[in-house]
Amino acid sequence: MTIDIEAAAAAPARPFDARRLSRKAALHGTMILLSLVAILPIYWMVATSFRPANDIFSSSLWPSAPSLENYRLVLESLPMFRMLANTLVMAAATAALQVLTGLLAAYALTRWRFRFSGAVHGLIALSWLVPFQVTMIPNYVLATRLGLLDTLTGLVVPNAAAAFAVLILYNAMKSFPREVIEAARMDGAKHWRILWEIVTPNLRAAIASLAVLAFISAWNEYFWPLLLSRKIENSVVQIGLQMFMAQEGNLWGALMAAATLASLPILVIYLILQRQVIESFMKSGLK
């Protein structure tokens, strides 16, 4: 301890660098400003959800008389918890299936050499650029013939495979050392075992990032559930938000209360898995 104190005392003092300090202050100030810009809409949504009808358009940061009337109206008008459960099941199933199909397709494209494999990869990449409006009519006709209208299965199946998932996992698997796979093949491992016991555990970052993106995308899905759903109790929460928007006028308080309830599960999941989500995005290189 004495030696450490003497060494610290003998060490030359670091010169004051005003330029470096100013750069740090500017960087932190910019990050604080961007954080406020990102948080302000969420805060305003929550604050508006507690405002009574005569205080909706007030410019105060917090309602003078907070009320739960808007939440009561939402819960009385919609089966909100049923819709939240539907959305959770649909988003989780969609994300899981996209990861599964992406893993299988990416492994086939990277490890099996066959004629026109490059063309297949190019077609998958091109299909990512096709807007949903082009495929919604064939998907709707197919769902009708299969009896999937107004079902959660009908919401999941058309999105079970995604070109984005294939491309993300294809790039991750392409950088995986081929020597490891060849060593496993020499030990007698088959492709199925190699994929699930060797390749997949080493792609946790890319898989986690893809799962998060797929889950959020499915949670925010609006157009396809609107096209397929018939009963409000079999629909998702994004359709419920539309119920408070009409030509006569929007019920802003109820709409913000419903939006707060719809955002709450995503925020809770992020708060619980915050470190894992950030690490997965950093390791996979996604921004």
Amino acid (1-letter code) at residue 61: L
Question: Does the pLDDT at position 190 exceed 60?
Answer: yes
Give the domain ranges of the chain.
Answer: 13-71, 79-242
Identify the residue whose tokens are 């290189």.
Answer: 285
Domain 79-242 falls under CATH 1.10.3720.10: yes
- pLDDT given for residue 177 in this prediction: 82
For position 120, what pLDDT does the model report?
83
What pLDDT is attached to residue 183?
A: 84
Closest of 156, 161, 163 to residue 92, by C-alpha: 156
Q: Which residue has the higher pLDDT, 11 or 71?
A: 71
**Tens digits of residue pLDDT in 28-41:** 889 999 989 989 98
Q: Average model confidence (pLDDT) for the chain?
A: 84
Is the confidence at residue 9, as pLDDT, over 60? no
CA distance 264 to 267: 5
Q: How many Å apart are CA 41 and CA 282, to the nearest integer?
A: 26
Residue 199: count other Cβ atoms within 10 Å of its Cβ: 23
More confident residue, 124 or 116: 124
CA atoms lying within 13 Å on the CB side of residue 242? 13
Q: How far apart are CA 199 and CA 194, in angstroms?
A: 6
pLDDT higher than 80, residue 230: yes
Q: What is the mean pLDDT of residues 199-215?
A: 87
* Sign of the C-alpha dihedral computed for residues 256, 257, 263 and 264 taken in this order: positive
Residue 172 C-alpha from the chain's centroid = 19
Which pLDDT belongs to residue 280? 62
pTM, two decimal places: 0.81
Which tens digit of pLDDT belongs to each residue from 128-158?
888 888 888 888 998 899 888 889 999 999 8
The pair of three-digit structure tokens given for residue 145, joined into one six-digit string: 């013939």
- pLDDT value for 86: 93
Please give, one letter per residue, the 3-state secondary structure of 114-129: CCCHHHHHHHHHHHCC
Out of 76-90, 213-227, 270-284, pick the least confident. 270-284
Given a contact cutoff of 8 angstroms between Cβ atoms, the answer to whether 169 and 106 are in contact is yes
Q: 21 or 107: whose pLDDT is higher?
A: 107
Query: In the structure encoding, which two tokens stand for residue 121, read together?
Result: 């990869």
